[in-house]
């Protein structure tokens, strides 16, 4: 997830224009919220991170969005609907599919909903947004303001993932950079994604076993490239990491 600063002013203005009562402990009403605080965080994804379809058609992906509920204790599945917020959404309506019904399972306070996205050419040059709101009924209301909207940013461009930017604040280093992949560049990240895609693996930055395994794969791929006689003969080695203007390095041990 990544902070999208320029859209926060719009969200804040929406809240200021839409005064609501504070949530009450009404055991007849379920207050449904999104897991992320929309004033701080946006779900960001890129089609680049996913495998190309075998049929050569447009790439399509599913993104899960966390939801929470409080208020009424639900002894049965809570069923609700969401819709696109036109004040935030810039994504064409034919490029996403909302779930026909959303469910928070009985007895649970958190769950996820799935939104389907379809790639198209304009996303190669920009990010576009989908804003989601819960559709209110007599027994289902939106939760607190900060979590009453979910924002998903979609693109088909490469960008530095959050897990390659977050620091260990005690020691002031990034784990992915310090121990596994080294300094970031688009070229290196694309090669790392290629290693993941060989096994059909998607990586969200949480599993250090996956990070280590495929960092080693990338390190070996670079080594094989640099030791290939044809590449040496043609002056293609070492493999350069263009954004850092140096030979590509992957520090993972092994």
Predicted structure pTM score = 0.75
What 3-state class would DSSP assign to 66?
Answer: strand
CA distance 218 to 86: 42
**Where along the chain do its domains lie?**
5-155, 162-247
What 3-state class would DSSP assign to 123?
Answer: helix
- What confidence score (pLDDT) does residue 53 get? 81
CA distance 30 to 111: 14
Burial of 152 (0-12, 13-18, 19+ CB in 10 A): buried
> How long a stretch of residues is the chain?
254
Strand 149-155 with 128-134, pairing: antiparallel
Number of helices (H), then strands (E), belonging to the chain: the values are 5, 13
- 5-155 — its CATH code? 2.60.40.1740
- What confidence score (pLDDT) does residue 169 get? 67
What 3-state class would DSSP assign to 232?
Answer: helix
CA distance 202 to 193: 8
Q: CB within 8 A of 141, min separation 6: which ones?
A: 29, 30, 31, 32, 71, 134
CA-wise closest residue to 184 among 205, 170, 201, 210: 205
| β-sheet bridge partners, residue 69 | 32
CA-wise closest residue to 91 among 59, 65, 128: 128
Q: Divide the 254 residues of the chain into consecutive groups of 10 and give the mean pLDDT of each group.
A: 46 48 64 90 88 82 95 91 96 97 95 96 95 96 92 93 84 89 92 91 89 97 96 92 83 91
Q: Which residue has the tokens 């402990």?
A: 25
- What confidence score (pLDDT) does residue 151 get? 95
Angular region, 113: left φ>0, alpha ψ -120 to 50, beta rest? beta
């Amino acid at each position: 997830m990544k902070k999208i600063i320029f859209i926060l002013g719009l969200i804040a203005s929406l809240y200021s224009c839409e005064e609501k009562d504070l949530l009450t402990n009404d055991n007849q009403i379920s207050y449904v919220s999104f897991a992320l605080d929309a004033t701080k965080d946006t779900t960001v994804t890129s089609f680049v991170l996913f495998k190309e379809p075998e049929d050569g058609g447009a790439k399509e992906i599913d993104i899960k969005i966390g939801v929470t509920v409080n208020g009424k204790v639900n002894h049965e599945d809570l069923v609700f609907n969401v819709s696109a917020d036109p004040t935030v959404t810039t994504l064409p309506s034919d490029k996403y599919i909302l779930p026909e019904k959303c469910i928070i399972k009985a007895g649970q306070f958190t769950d996820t909903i799935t939104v389907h996205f379809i790639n198209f050419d304009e996303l190669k040059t920009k990010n576009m947004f989908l804003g989601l709101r819960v559709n209110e009924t007599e027994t289902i209301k939106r939760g607190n303001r900060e979590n009453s909207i979910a924002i998903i940013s979609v693109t088909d461009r490469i960008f530095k993932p959050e897990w390659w930017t977050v620091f260990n604040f005690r020691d002031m280093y990034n784990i992915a950079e310090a121990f596994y992949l080294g300094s970031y560049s688009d070229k290196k990240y694309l090669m790392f994604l290629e290693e993941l895609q060989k096994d059909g693996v998607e990586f969200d930055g949480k599993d250090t076993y996956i990070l280590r395994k495929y960092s080693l794969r990338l390190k070996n791929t670079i080594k094989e490239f640099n030791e290939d006689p044809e590449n040496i003969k043609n002056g293609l080695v070492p493999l350069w990491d263009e954004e850092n203007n140096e030979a590509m390095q992957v520090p993972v041990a092994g």
